[in-house]
A and B are shown apart, each in its own frame.
Chain A
């Protein structure tokens, strides 16, 4: 077994391993972060739009949103990803791997996010709607100025969980040939057979991104949102 022998030869060479492959893994990490940021922006926009559509009084708009949400929540992300990358070209739409990955992630998580937004809007007290109505705000202004600012403290905690899930899901884009952290780890593994080192390092990097960058950022957003509506968090 080549892996076993290699491990024996290379014990205590983790620093050498990092020295040799660290840069490659870091470059992969940059791509992972890029995918994360792009799909995050996309999913936030989509969930806002479809969350509002889901609450529309117009049956057709509501129906479209429901079908979208059920469809993307009902199928596997990997299937959607492969569909976007391998099947869309059949219809004459060839997406680059990166674009296909971001679009699939954005659409998938947008469906979950839309449900969060919907629940958040429903959680805004009825009196706020009535007050806005009484003050003769237009429907658009009611949503934009009164309701939306108040939903952030409600939706941010579940959205933070979803965003960590998104970070984990970005690993899947490696399977449609996006050269991200997972892809690089797999590549290095197939060259060196130092599986413990490369996958272990990849796991650590994901963990560090989640624990020391993404989660603190999301907590900061939560505090900001709470302050904005005058609810200091304890």
Chain B
């Protein structure tokens, strides 16, 4: 076996890796979309006036947040069929990522809502605005910019956690690299390529999030222009 980097092999596997990259981006995008919605539900669970619902909601969030995504993936993938629900690896992966990161996003939402000063609520009460109107026109427009950096961070976070999906057989980038590596018995190029692809996608994304964060801080007057 030839040691060292082989460029011909690299170019040979590049098209395959590129297609798998699209799958990774798709998985991250779909997972993120689900997480955004799930986060809203967890937020609602926290905001209900029923103490017991709040408590159950908080315990569920705590549980999901402090257990590994990997085992959650296994759990959903292997346990659901026991109850007669057979889902494809893709669907299982998306559900699990959505649930896992939904708990994180609910915290982002909560932080953002709490970031809106109480006086805003009091002013709306004084003006006799309804709760829904207050949320829609006063609170949410102010909370959203606060939530943007956190939301962006978790988009990057989900993107970096998609390789875990390969463990249940979702054909994303890391899965493709392992398959190619196993087939040719060369792991150097495939895994290094995966690393490079991740770097080239996530560093610009992270920089963009940082820029957003800066812009938001500036717009709120926390940093002087």
Contacts and interface: CB of A to CB of B under 8 A. Distances in A.
A25 interface: no
B160 interface: yes
Given A4-B81, A168-B69, A76 B74 contact: no
Contacts of B55: none
A40 to B, nearest CB: 16
Nearest to A78: B163
A93 interface: no
Given A74-B203, A74-B206, A168-B66, A195 B82 contact: yes
Q: How large is the interface on B (under 10, 10 to 19, 20 to 34, 35 or more residues)?
A: 35 or more
A79 interface: yes
A34 interface: no
Given A76-B198, A90-B3, A189 B78 contact: yes
Interface stretch (B9-17, B37-45, B135-143, B188-196): B188-196
A8 to B, nearest CB: 9
A119 interface: no
Contacts of A79: 163, 174, 191, 194-195, 198
A203 B62 CA distance: 12
B221 interface: no
A197 B4 CA distance: 45
B65 to A, nearest CB: 8
B188 A90 contact: yes
Interface stretch (A122-130, A145-153, A205-213, A226-234): A205-213
A35 interface: no
A167 B66 CA distance: 8
A230 B19 CA distance: 57
A75 B191 contact: no
Contact of A189 (B70, B74, B81, B167): B74
B27 to A, nearest CB: 12
A200 B167 contact: no
Contact of A75 (B66, B70, B72, B160): B160
B82 A202 contact: no
A76 B191 contact: no
Interface of A: 1, 3-4, 7, 70-71, 73-80, 82-83, 86-87, 90, 164, 167-172, 174-175, 182, 185-186, 189, 195-196, 199-200, 202-203, 206-207, 210-211, 215
Interface of B: 3-4, 62-63, 65-72, 74-75, 78-79, 81-82, 84, 160-164, 166-167, 174, 178, 181, 187-188, 191-192, 194-195, 198-199, 202-203, 206
